[in-house]
Structure 1
Amino acid sequence: MFTIDDVHWLDDNGHVRPPLMLYLLLLFLARGWAILVMSLTIASDRAELVKLFYPEKVDFLTALAAGSGAVLAFFLVIAERRRKPQWCRSAFSSLRILLMALLGLEAALLFTRLSHSRFLFDWPMALDGLFLFWSALYLYRSRHLKVYVSDWPKHAEIAEK
């Protein structure tokens, strides 16, 4: 599965680096959490930034709940980069399935938001749908992501540096 052309994916230790699109996908899935963190940095009025992106409080809370899976996936990526703890290995091997499930949840939430607006065209929802489509296509087709997920060995590494 790994070819000589894929050497540029390796880091200094010989492990496959995470794809940049994976980070963008995780940011898209956890955008509610990102907006929460950005709103905490504003000293004057923290609720205004949240209301700019999520006019309804229920939408924001739903985005936080749906984005918690993406935060978990981000912690799995961090654990893979450190190769510790070893018990995260089994959860990391199913990262693509977790991301596909999170995309399905986002699609269901998008459909719910569309039904509340009576399926009228809205640019933010259209861009969400487009990014959902491209993300699902990326998860299905990306060889870099497949190699990255299969790179963490199942046995414990004895030689630690």
Structure 2
Amino acid sequence: MFRIEDVHWLDDHGHVRPPLMLYLLLLFLARGWAIFVMSLTIASDRSELVKLFYPDRSDFLIALAAGSGAVFAFFLVIAERRRKPLWLRPLFGSLRLLLAVLLTVEAVLLVIRLSHLTFLFDWPMALDGLLLFWSAIYLYHSRHLKAYVADWPLGE
């Protein structure tokens, strides 16, 4: 599974570090939560930033609900870095499956949003579709991500 050129994936303890693309994928999937947290920093009107990205309140609430799985996956990554609690280990082993399910949910939500526009071209939705496509390819082909998920064995 490992090649000699993959040694840069390892940290000081010999464990595989999380790929940077994993963090970017989680940020993409949890972008509703990221916008919510950024809106908390605005002192005057917190809802203006949210309205900029999500003009319809229901779209924002759906983005928060769909992004909850990505927030959970981020906490799994944090737990793996600390190697505890051990009861999360079986859940961490299914991280790639969880990400695939989250990408599928995001794709279904994109199709629903496109149907509201009667499938007319819209730049933000085109960018979402492109990022979904790249994320799915990354999830399927990344050797680094596969090695990272397999690095926290059950016996540890």
Tell me by how many angstroms 1:73 deviates. 0.1
Tell me by how many angstroms 1:4 deviates. 1.6
Counterparts of 2:2 and 2:91 in 1: how far apart (Å)?
22
- Structure 1 residue 147 and structure 2 residue 147: aligned? yes
**Which position in structure 1 is the counterpart of 2:59?**
59
User: AA paired with 2:38?
Assistant: M
TM-score (norm 1): 0.96
Q: Percent identity?
A: 79
Tell me by how many angstroms 1:74 deviates. 0.1
Tell me by how many angstroms 1:10 deviates. 0.3
Counterparts of 2:89 and 2:144 in 1: how far apart (Å)?
18
Unaligned runs of 5+ residues in structure 2 are: none
Structure 1 stretches of at least 4 aligned residues deviating more than 3 Å after TM superposition: none
**1:9-48 equivalences in 2 (<5 Å):** 9-48=9-48
Counterparts of 1:102 and 1:154 in 2: how far apart (Å)?
24
TM-score (norm 2): 0.99
Aligned residues: 156
Tell me by how many angstroms 1:5 deviates. 1.4
**Which position in structure 2 is the counterpart of 1:2?**
2
**1:123-142 equivalences in 2 (<5 Å):** 123-142=123-142
User: AA paired with 1:154?
Assistant: L
Counterparts of 1:114 and 1:154 in 2: how far apart (Å)?
42
User: AA paired with 1:125?
Assistant: M
Counterparts of 1:77 and 1:89 in 2: how far apart (Å)?
10
Question: What do residues 78-133 of structure 1 show as CA deviations (whole Å, max 9, x unaligned)?
Answer: 00000000010000000000000000000000000000001010000000000000
